[in-house]
Amino acid sequence: MRWPREYARQIVAMGTREERNAALLEVPEHLRELTKRHCLNAWNHPSRLNRKEAAAHEQHRSNTATTATRTG
């Protein structure tokens, strides 16, 4: 038996919303609502936003370094 948090961890890691919604429908019905709640909690958790901002910052730094190298 798999646990709702295990399902949620896999679902949140998926690339698109359509994939996540389809995967949620594959979760056994008696675990679906709890799994959905775990997914929403993980998706909206502040640490996810911090990781997303950090990744965007790193991407910006990388782009800036590339531009500086080209113009320099």
Domain count along the chain: 1
Q: What is the rounded distance in angstroms from the CA atom of residue 72 to the CA atom of residue 66? A: 10
Domain of residue 46 covers 4-71
pLDDT in tens, the chain (72 residues): 689 999 999 999 998 999 999 999 999 999 999 999 999 998 888 776 676 666 666 666 666 665 555 555
State both tokens at 15.
């690339």
Can you give the pLDDT at residue 16?
Answer: 93
DSSP state of 2: -
> In degrees, to the nearest 5, what angle opens at C-alpha 3 toward C-alphas 52 and 28?
100
Pick the closest to residue 43 from 30, 28, 24 (CA basis).
24
Helix (H, G, I), strand (E, B) or coil at 38: helix
